[in-house]
Amino acid sequence: MGASASREKFRESVSALIEVDVSADDADFWDELWKIPSNAEEVFELIPPHAARRLRDERFDNLATLFTQATAQLCQIVET
């Protein structure tokens, strides 16, 4: 996947988090999200403040699941 395709896929995933309820059990969605190559600068660029606020205000459960999933990913990295 090229850089522009990765960025677009990440944008689509963030849009999905804002627009629809994503279950914590939706392994396909979360696995795909973590497979998208990105770095911290890209994440902050691709999730602008207004999108983060919308996610917080409109889909708080998705935001909580995102944090839980991110923490699980970090734990997995540390353990390997």
Q: pLDDT by residue for the chain (80 residues), tens digit each? A: 567 888 889 889 999 999 999 999 999 999 998 888 878 888 888 889 999 999 999 999 999 999 999 999 999 989 98
Predicted local distance difference test score (pLDDT) of residue 25: 94
- Asked if 14 and 45 touch (Cβ cutoff 8 Å), the reply is no
pTM over 0.85: no
Distance (Å, whole) CA 61 – CA 69: 12
Alpha carbon 70 to chain centroid, angstroms: 8
Predicted local distance difference test score (pLDDT) of residue 69: 93
Distance (Å, whole) CA 67 – CA 80: 20
Distance (Å, whole) CA 42 – CA 13: 14
- Asked if 46 and 7 touch (Cβ cutoff 8 Å), the reply is yes
